[in-house]
Structure 1
Amino acid sequence: MTDHTLQLLVDRAAIADTLHRYAAGLDHGDADLLTSALTEDATVDLTPATGKIGLDFPVLTPRETVVGVLIPAVGPLDTSHVISNIRTTVDGDTANARAYATAQHFPPGDGPKPDRTRQALMMNRYDADLVRDGETWRIRRLTIDSAWFSGDPKILTGE
């Protein structure tokens, strides 16, 4: 195995970890974990996904705004984001990652109750530009588009 191949494997694992930190930060309402996945000038654009389900949601930038908006909006919900099918292209200290994210949302406290059926299930496509920050990869730009949606979109607005 060459040094280049080994570095590529390490980078791909670290990039996957970055996407997982982003999702886990949302699922656990953990601002520090979410922050660790983003550059200071990060931009998160959910408008392709939210627009398809009738929600008016702004593009979020920088990191302080991303965390300040997403943690109060998603953190209290009973959510689970599953990141899969990660494909990466690495070019030195920059990379692009594309992945699927299945995200299940229930109102706070309703997730574990089998008699609760009000939910919002999304299959999203992530397109992320990342940069290497020392040993850590961070998302500089994330665009989220929805492949399909099922349920009540008002759950995502706290209604």
Structure 2
Amino acid sequence: MTAPSQSLDAPEHVDYTAISDTLYRYAAGLDLGDADLLTSALTEDATVDLGPAMRRIGYDFPPLTPRESVVTTLVGAVGPLDTSHSISNIRTTVDGDTAQAWAYAQAQHYLPGLGSQPDQTRHALMMNRYHAQLVRDGNRWRIRSLTIANAWFDGDPGVLLGAP
């Protein structure tokens, strides 16, 4: 998928910043295992499709929907891991109260409690491409649909499942 180029005026910059914050809330919710923060980034009918990323490394993972299922599944699976999701290269298009965003998400994963050990080499490092469809909810944007595709992977896929 190719995101359009953009030049922002002041109102568009406000939307861009708010949309970026939505992606940051999503990532921080994962890293902190914070269900409330993750919930704040998603609509009630949200769908998160990790299938394209997970199939690339050998796992079949169905789309998650609605928000309650997304949050429960992701906080349960990713929350216990030592993770760091960094969002970058955000591009947006806004059409009234709907928007699309494209971004890169580099995500480092270690087994619980091992991420800060300097001798720990077992990890799962992913560079993913996010494509989000968002809707305006008052002064905030929320993700209605997020598709995550993998650009590259390094490490042990078993770490993503908490496999010892």
TM-score (norm 1): 0.97
Aligned length: 156
The reply on whether 1:94 has 2:114 as its aligned counterpart is: no
Percent identity of equivalent pairs:
71
The reply on whether 1:36 has 2:40 as its aligned counterpart is: yes
- 45, 51, 54: which one pairs with 2:49? 45
- 41, 63, 66: which one pairs with 1:62? 66
Deviation at 1:56, TM superposition (A): 1.6
The reply on whether 1:128 has 2:128 as its aligned counterpart is: no
Q: Residue 114 of structure 2: SS of its match in structure 1?
A: coil
Q: Residue 117 of structure 1: SS of its match in structure 2?
A: coil
| CA–CA separation in structure 2 for the residues paired with 1:44 and 1:15 | 16
Which string of whole-angstrom CA distances, capped at 9 and with x for unpartnered residues, describes residues 102-153 of structure 1?
0000000000001110000000000000000000000000000000000000
Q: Residue 158 of structure 2: SS of its match in structure 1?
A: helix
Deviation at 1:5, TM superposition (A): 2.7
| CA–CA separation in structure 2 for the residues paired with 1:39 and 1:133 | 9
- Opposite residue 149 of structure 2, the aligned amino acid is D
Displacement over 6 Å in runs of 4+: none
TM-score (norm 2): 0.94
Q: Where does residue 8 of structure 1 map in the other structure?
A: 12
For structure 2, list consecutive stretches of 5 or more residues without a partner in the other structure. Answer: 1-7
Deviation at 1:58, TM superposition (A): 1.4
